[in-house]
Amino acid sequence: MESDPSDKSNPITPKKHDLKDDGDSSPALRSPGANPQEGWVTGHGERNDEDEGKKDQEKIDTSEIAEEKVDVVDPEVCYSLEKALEDIDKLATILSSSNDENDPSEIPEFVDRLMDFVEAEVAGYCTDLGEGKAKWSQDPQVNSFLEIVGRVSKLATVVAPSKCREKFASLINRIGKIQQEALSFLEDEFRVLLDECRPIDLEKEGNVKSKQESTEESDQSIEEGDSFGYTNDIVSGLNKIAKEMISCGYESECCQVYIVTRRNSFEELFNKFGFENISIDDVQKMQWEALEREIVKWIQTFKECASVHFYRELRLAEAVFAGYPSIATHLFYNLTRSMLIHILNFSEAVAMSSKRSAEKLFKFLDMFETLRDMTCTMDRYFKDEDSANQLRTEINTARSRIGEAIVSMFSDLENSIKTDAGKNPVPGGAVHPLTSYTINYLKYASEYKETLEQVFKEHLKIERADSNNRTEFQGENNQDNSEKEPSPFSIQLTRVMDLLDSNLEAKSKLYKDVSLSFIFMMNNGRYILQKVKGSVEINELMGNNWRRKKSSELRQYHKNYQRETWSKVLGCFRDEGLNVHGKVSKPELKERFKTFNAMFEEIHKTQSAWIVKDEQLQSELRVSISAVVIPAYRSFLGRHSHHFTAGRQSEKYVKYQPEDLETYIDELFDGTPATTGRRKQ
C-alpha cells in the first residue's frame, strides 16, 4: 500500500535526482562559501565522508557543480521535523551566501519534498492547535509549530532579496504561502487568546487593587506567577505568539490585533458599568434626573478604569510583549489614551450643557474631584514623561471646563438671589425660603471646601490676568491682622451672603408692622449665624470678622424691636403727668391703666402669632421683654394701686398682676394667635 503524503504519520521518501559527475565519486554538493564539512544534504540524509576528509580541498564553484551529473539513488527514509529544520537552515545558508557570480543554477529537487513536508506540517498544526483555544499554550505541538514558523520566515527573508528572483519565483511563492497561512493562524489565535482576557469582577478580584497600589511590581516577569487577573497559560501563549509574529516581520499586524481586541474589551467593560457613549446633543436634551444617573455611572467607570483596569492593561502589555518594552509602552499609551478620550468626551459634554443650575453643583464637584484625583493615579503608569504630560493635559483640560461650570453655577446662585423679588412677606416674620435654601446650599457646598478652594483659585488666576482689584470684604478683613487674607472661595461666600442680606433687608420692608420687620431680620439673621457656626468648614471660611458683624446686627435688630414695640408701653408707667397740684389725678391714673391694658392685649394677640423658631432667640426675646416690662409694671402698680377702691373698681383697671404678664409674655412668638383674660388671684 502506498503512503499518503498528507498524513504526517507516514514517511515522505525522497525522489531520485541526477547531478553531473566531474569524475569525483562524491555525490554530495557543497554550498558556496560554506564550511567544507557542510554540504548539500544527500538523498539518504548523510554527509559525504570524503568531503569531510578533504579539508584543504578548494570550494567547488556552483557554476561547476551545475555542469556535474551524478546519478544517485537515495534510499527511502522518514522525513522528520528535525530533518526538515536542518534542511531549511542549510538551504538558507546557501542562499544567503550566493551572489551574481556564484549562484546556484537550480534548486535541488529535495526542496520540493521539504516544502511538501513543511506545508503539510503547518496545515496539520493549524488544525490541531486550533481546537485547543484557551489551552493553546499548553499543547506540546506549540513549540514545534513556532519553531517551524520561525525557520520558514527566516528562509523567506533570505530568499526575498535574492538577485535570481525569476529562478526562485516558484520557491518564493510557496514559502510565502506557507508563511502567510501560519502567521494568519497565529494572528487568529492571538485574537482568540486576547478575547479570553475579559474584564474581571472586582468583587471577586480582591487582590488586584492591592497590587495596583505599588507600580514597582510592574517589572516582575510572568514567570513569577503574577497573573494580575489573567491566567498564566493565556499570557504565556500570547507572549509566544507576539514574539514569533514580531520576529517574522508581522509586528504591525500583531499590534493592530492587540489594540483592536483590547479596545473591544474596554467597550465590554463600559457596557458592564452601564456607561454609554452619549453625544453632546443627547446630553443637552437629557433631563437632569437622567443625566445625574449617567454622571454616577461615569464616575464609577473612570475611577475603576484609572485605579484598576488601566493598571491591569499595563501589566498585560508588559507581559505579552516581554522583551519589547517600547512596543508595550506604545500600545498601552494608545489604548489608554483612546479609552480616556472616550471617558472625557462625556465630561466635556456635561460641562458644555446649557442647562446649568445651582442644584447641579454637587455632581459637578464630584466629577471635578474624580478628574483631579485620577490624574495622580494615571501618572504612575507612565515612565515616559511626554506620554504622562499628554494624558495629564487631556484630563486637566476636561477638569478646567468642569471647574468653569462650577464657577458659573455660583454666578447663577447670585443671580437667583438678586432676582428673587417676591412681594408677599413671609407670615409671622419667619425664616424666608430663600434664606434656608441659600444657607443650606452654601453649607453643603462648604463640605467640598478644598475642592472649591482649588476651583476658585484656578478661576482667579484667569481673572487676575487683567485685574488686580480686591473686594471690599478683603479690605475689611485686612484690617484684622489676626486673620489671614481670605481665600477666593471665602470671598465668593461673602459675596453671596452680602447679596442675601440686601435681599432680606428689602423683603423686611414688605411688613407694615415695623416691629415685625425686625423680628423677620432677627429670625433670618439668627438662622444664618447658627447654620454657619454649626458647620466647621463654612465657619472657618466666613471668619471671625463676619461673625462679629452678624452678631452685632442681631443685637441691633433686637434693640430696635424693643424700642418699637415696648417703649410706648413703658411710657404708661411714667409718673410725669399724673400729679395735679401735688396729688395723683385719679382719672389720669385710670387712663394709664386702661391704655396699658389695651396695648398689652393688642401686642399679646398680635405677637403670639408671630414665629420665632429658634428656641434660644425666642427665649432671649421673652426674657428681655419680661426684664423690661414686669419690673416697671410691678413698681408702677405698687406706687398707685392703693388709689383704687378695692373690689370692682380695682378689678376694672388693674386687670393683670405681674405674674400674669410673665405668663402672657411666655406665649409670644409661638405662631398661634392667643387672647388675654384676667388671671384669677
Residues 400, 414 contacting (CB under 8 angstroms): no
Contact 315, 228 (CB under 8 A): yes
CB 313 within 8 A of CB 335: yes
Q: What is the pLDDT of residues 316-325, one digit of tens each?
A: 999 999 999 9
Selected residue with higher pLDDT from 323 and 178: 323
Helix orientation angle between 488-508 and 472-479, rounded to the nearest 10 degrees: 110
pLDDT at 67 over 50: no
Is the predicted pLDDT of residue 350 greater than 70, yes or no?
Answer: yes
pLDDT at 473: 39
Q: What is the mean pLDDT of the segment spanning 285-292?
A: 90
In this predicted structure, the answer to whether residue 225 has a pLDDT above a threshold of 80 is: no
**What is residue 18's three-state secondary structure?**
strand
Lowest mean pLDDT among 165-174, 270-279, 326-335: 165-174
53 vs 562, residue with greater confidence:
562
Pairwise CA distance, residues 351 & 349, whole Å: 5
Which tens digit of pLDDT belongs to each residue from 241-288?
Answer: 898 889 888 899 999 999 999 999 999 999 989 998 888 888 888 898
Residue scoring higher pLDDT (648 or 242): 242
**Where is pLDDT greater, at 227 or 230?**
230
The percent of residues in the chain predicted with pLDDT above 70, rounded, is: 67
Residue-level pLDDT at 167: 63
Please report which helix (H) or strand (E) contains residue 357, including its range.
none
Q: What angle do CA 317, 321, 323 make, to 5 degrees?
A: 135
Q: How far is the C-alpha of 99 from the C-alpha of 607, rounded, in Å?
A: 116
CA distances, 410 to each of 348, 438, 468, 469 (Å): 19, 11, 21, 20
Residue 62, sorted as left (phi over 0), alpha (psi -120 to 50) or beta, turns out to be: alpha
What is residue 138's predicted lDDT score, i.e. its pLDDT?
55
Q: What pLDDT, on a 0 to 100 scale, did the predictor assign at position 629?
A: 95
Residue pair 132/188 in contact (Cβ under 8 Å)? The answer is no
How far, CA to CA in Å, does 366 sit from each of 291, 292, 438, 541, 550? 14, 11, 20, 21, 32
137-147 tens-digit pLDDT: 555 666 677 77
What confidence tier does 451 reach under pLDDT thresholds 50, 70, 90?
A: very high
Q: For residue 310, what pLDDT band results from cuts at 50, 70 and 90?
A: very high
Cα atoms found within 13 Å of the Cα of residue 160, Cβ hemisphere only: 10
The residue that leads in pLDDT, 436 or 13, is: 436
**How many whole angstroms separate alpha carbon 263 and alpha carbon 256?**
11
State mean pLDDT over 412-432: 92
- Tell me, what's the pLDDT at 95? 66
Surface-to-core class of residue 75, CB atoms within 10 Å of its CB (0-12 exposed, 13-18 middle, 19+ buried): exposed
Please report which confidence band the pLDDT of residue 474 belongs to, taking 50, 70 and 90 as the band edges.
Answer: very low
3-state SS, residue 282 = helix
Helix (H, G, I), strand (E, B) or coil at 611: strand
Whole-prediction pTM value? 0.72
Q: Which of 230-239, 335-344, 515-524 has the lowest mean pLDDT?
A: 230-239
* Confidence tier at 649 by pLDDT (50, 70, 90): low
Quote the CA–CA distance of 291 and 497 in Å, as a whole number: 30
Average pLDDT, the chain: 76
Reduced to 3 states, what is the DSSP secondary structure of residue 71?
A: strand
The percent helix, strand, coil of the chain (3-state, each to 5) is: 70, 0, 30
Length of the chain: 681
Please tell me the least confidently modeled range out of 46-55, 85-94, 487-496, 599-608. Answer: 46-55
**Beta carbons of 74 and 43 less than 8 angstroms apart:** yes
Question: So what's the pLDDT on residue 552?
Answer: 96
Instruction: Tell me the CA distances in angstroms from 526 to 439, 469, 670, one per residue in order.
Output: 12, 32, 17
Which of 193-207, 392-406, 512-526, 649-663 comes out lowest in average pLDDT?
Answer: 193-207
Contact present, 21 and 70 (Cβ < 8 Å)? yes
Sequence spans of domains, the chain: 81-90+109-200+227-248, 437-465+486-569
C-alpha 672/C-alpha 175 separation (Å) is 102
Lowest mean pLDDT among 201-215, 363-377, 655-669: 201-215
Of 111 and 559, more confident:
559
* Among the listed residues 62, 36, 264, 241, the one whose alpha carbon sits nearest the alpha carbon of residue 136: 241
Show the 3-state SS of 416-450: HHHHCCCCCCCHHHCCCHHHHHHHHHHHHHHCCHH
CA distances from 596 to 273, 435, 646 (A): 74, 37, 20
pLDDT of residue 149: 74
Q: Please state the rounded mean pLDDT for residues 619-642.
A: 92
Confidence at 475, pLDDT banded by 50, 70, 90:
very low
Q: Give backbone dihedrals phi and psi of 365, rounded to 5 degrees, phi first.
A: -65, -40
Helix 251-273 and helix 232-247: axis angle, to 10°? 150
Q: Which three cell numbers stand for residue 417?
A: 438671589
Per-residue confidence (pLDDT) for residue 25, from 0 to 100: 34
Grid-cell match 510565502, residue found:
176
Across 562-584, average pLDDT: 86
Could you tell me if 377 and 423 are in contact, meaning their C-beta atoms sit under 8 angstroms apart? Answer: no
165-169, 502-506, 545-549: lowest mean pLDDT where? 165-169
Has residue 80 got a pLDDT over 80?
no
Asked if residues 122 and 53 have their Cβ atoms less than 8 Å apart, the reply is no
Distance (Å, whole) CA 46 – CA 51: 12
Residue-level pLDDT at 104: 53
More confident of the two residues 368 and 206: 368
| Distance (Å) of CA 6 to CA 119, 128, 143 | 9, 14, 21
How many whole angstroms separate alpha carbon 566 and alpha carbon 624?
11
Of residues 493, 491, 497, 490, the one with CA closest to residue 435? 497
Longest dimension (CA), the chain: 173
Residue type, 466: D
- Angle at Cα 516 formed by Cα 510 and Cα 517, nearest 5°? 45
Question: What is the share, in percent, of the chain residues with pLDDT greater than 90?
Answer: 41
Taking only Cα atoms into account, the Rg of the chain, rounded to an integer number of angstroms, comes to 48
Q: How far, in Å, CA of 330 to CA of 314, rounded?
A: 11
Residue 19: which of 45, 2, 42 has the closest Cα?
42
* pLDDT (0 to 100) of residue 529: 95
Mean of pLDDT values over 210-224: 40
Rounded to whole angstroms, the Cα distance separating 49 from 531 reads: 105
Residue scoring higher pLDDT (646 or 518): 518
pLDDT for 215: 39
Which residue would you say has higher pLDDT here, 120 or 361?
Answer: 361
